[in-house]
Amino acid sequence: MHICTTSAFRYVDKIFTLHTAEIQEPSPATDALTWQTTLTYTKQHLETLVFFGLPFTYIDRESDLFSFNAIANCLQSNQPHSTPQIQLGAFLALSLRIKKTTNLDRDIPTEFIDVGLIHSLSLAYHILELEYESDLSSFNTAPTAYSFNSIQPRLTNPDLYGKPTWLKGKGKIAQRNMRRSEQISDPVVEPIDPAIHARQDKITWSLKRYIKLELFPHMLGNNPDRLPTNAEFEYCNNLIKNFRLFNHGKVVIHDKKDKSKIIALIEFTPFNEMTPNGLANINYITRFLHSARQFVNAVGSESRSWGGRMFAIGWRKAMVGFQLIGLYRNKAAIDRSPQAYESLMKKSKQASSILGRLFRQLANVAFADNQEVMNQNSIPSIGQPDFGIPLGDDDCAPNLTFTSDDFFNPPHCDTEDLSEFAFGLFTPVNKGDWSLPNTRQFSPIPGRTFVFPDYRCGIDLSQNNGVVKMVWRAKDVRHCTIYSANTSVYNQIGMSLQINKKTAKTSHDIKSGIIYERPAYKDVPKDKLYIGNVQHYVKGLL
């Protein structure tokens, strides 16, 4: 049974916008006596989930029908049920349908369901954690911009509308959806196609409570950045055994207490489910990063890395005298092969665009917010060879951080980020050239995980044979990659797009001219100050 809570949607239109498929006109039902609309409030994910006093018992299991009126009645009732505990495991994998026939009441309600009561009951009866699955196509909402209280599921036809849009009154498709949803008074006549229904996306909503947890207690001492001992690693791994680690589908993790706080949005896509173009795009990025790492220095800070290798490409604040802003670089490597560096940097625009599109497809409102921050502060994009170039449609970050070779790090928040959300991607690659592995073969990487320790959950990367995309609250929620000895023939690489405060401040001050008033620059002739762009580095200048 899919239980939809208000808290699950409070912040969703801020970060998670689903894309509406091409709208098609409904075809006449083949059976005039039966109209079906699949609601797919289906598949309760946790068989052990128990609601206290929640009267969801009105169901005809013989005919596989669920009374839509009964749902509304239950939600409007504040009376505790006579049974102290009601297990919802009975609703596992149950397809809930409204069947409209000549012997059924035709007046099936289609108004918004008041789901706030469910959330109130979950709090009143002290349900600590919820996890449930739904079909993405079950929802079509029309809230005003950032009006979270009005976000509630509405009865629509999933085959007609495809994936829903979190409407904000913008764009032709959004306007068409708004008009159509307002006109609906009864379930649309549409036969159910099992093949289409089987392909419908599922999303798992995980409601997690914040309780601070130290995976490495030594970090509370005088030397928090030191590498943990074997005993400390074992202690950490024993704690993680009790974590909820996700490894498939689409997942939204949100805070149990702060209903407006989405922790992370995660999407798993196996290689064998990706299109040839999708595989080519990921392969382009990984091969590009493999070539790029020779022209940048590895990050050596123990506060950011305990092992493996971490690199960054793109723009950052000045690191040498008289430079206002520049690109990450390994000067000696560029001086040895300036033409190879210049050729590679020409490919950075496409790599940046691919990552930007992946970000936007996963969470286009968060993407738009990041892009707005870029524009407001005149921040250059990863793929731009010089400062002051207008952003492209897919530009959303000044730099890209990527990790490899069994990278792991301490739990931390990215407090220097300006962007509210970061975009991340994980994928296995061949160790030699970082090309994507043969999708028919896979070598597991035991113990490989990315976790949010204070929420006791994370991503299980040990069996990952595909691409994991994630948008998460990097600057507010502690996260880390856990050490594991890699016996696989593959290398697991990770990457993230984020906007750093210092890069944003520097870019803003260059554009406004305020930077020339800084103590380090105000006595220096302006013609001595420069931008560390691609051509500057190719020419071998400082």
SS3 content of the chain, % helix, strand, coil (to 5): 30, 20, 50
pLDDT of residue 541: 76
Return the number of other C-beta atoms located less than 10 Å from residue 294's C-beta.
Answer: 15
Greater pLDDT, 320 or 331: 331
Please tell me which of 150-154, 183-187, 255-259, 292-296 the model is most confident about, judged by mean pLDDT: 292-296
pLDDT of residue 497: 98
φ, ψ at 471 (rounded to 5°)? -115, 125
Which tens digits make up the pLDDT trace of 507-526? 999 999 999 999 999 999 99
Query: What percentage of the chain carries pLDDT values higher than 70?
Result: 61
Query: What percentage of the chain carries pLDDT values higher than 90?
Result: 53
Please tell me which of 9-13, 62-66, 112-116, 295-299 the model is most confident about, judged by mean pLDDT: 295-299
What mean pLDDT is reported for the chain? 71
147 contacts: CB under 8 Å, gap ≥ 6: none
Strands of the 244-246 sheet, one edge to the other: 244-246, 457-460, 449-452, 480-482
pLDDT of residue 530: 94
Which tens digits make up the pLDDT trace of 359-386? 999 999 999 999 999 999 999 999 999 9
pLDDT of residue 477: 97
Q: How many CA atoms lie within 13 A of 202 on its CB side?
A: 19
Query: Quick check: 46 pLDDT over 70?
Result: no
Q: Residue range 8-17: average pLDDT? A: 32
Spatial distance between the Cα atoms of 470 and 220, rounded to a whole number of angstroms: 29
Beta pairing, strands 59-60 & 65-66: antiparallel
pLDDT of residue 302: 64
Spatial distance between the Cα atoms of 269 and 435, rounded to a whole number of angstroms: 17
Confidence of residue 257 (pLDDT cuts 50, 70, 90): confident
By the 8 A CB rule, do 497 and 423 touch? yes
Greater pLDDT, 373 or 41: 373
Strand partners, 323: 530
Greater pLDDT, 526 or 82: 526
Confidence of residue 179 (pLDDT cuts 50, 70, 90): very low
Q: Which residue has the tokens 């798992």?
A: 204
Greater pLDDT, 38 or 243: 243
Which tens digits make up the pLDDT trace of 396-425? 999 999 999 999 999 999 999 999 999 999
pLDDT of residue 424: 98
Spatial distance between the Cα atoms of 215 and 306, rounded to a whole number of angstroms: 14
pLDDT of residue 289: 98
Indicate the SS3 state at residue 344.
helix
Confidence of residue 44 (pLDDT cuts 50, 70, 90): very low
Spatial distance between the Cα atoms of 240 and 250, rounded to a whole number of angstroms: 21
| CATH code 3.60.130 region(s) in the chain | 217-538
Q: Which residue has the tokens 């093949």?
A: 195
217-538 to CATH, choices 3.60.130, 1.25.40, 1.20.1250, 3.30.420: 3.60.130
pLDDT of residue 131: 61
Confidence of residue 201 (pLDDT cuts 50, 70, 90): low
By the 8 A CB rule, do 314 and 400 touch? yes
pLDDT of residue 259: 65
Which tens digits make up the pLDDT trace of 464-517? 999 999 999 999 999 999 998 877 888 999 999 999 999 999 999 999 999 999
pLDDT of residue 300: 74
pLDDT of residue 48: 23
pLDDT of residue 190: 32
DSSP 106: S
pLDDT of residue 488: 82
Greater pLDDT, 181 or 538: 538
C-alpha distances out from residue 462 to 59, 245, 492, Å: 40, 10, 9
Q: How many CA atoms lie within 13 A of 125 on its CB side?
A: 20
Give a three-class secondary structure readout of 192-245.
Answer: CCHHHHHHCCEEEEEEECCCCCCCCHHHHCCCCCCCCCHHHHHHHHHHHCCCEE
Which tens digits make up the pLDDT trace of 88-147? 322 222 222 222 222 333 333 333 333 343 344 334 333 345 565 554 433 332 222 222
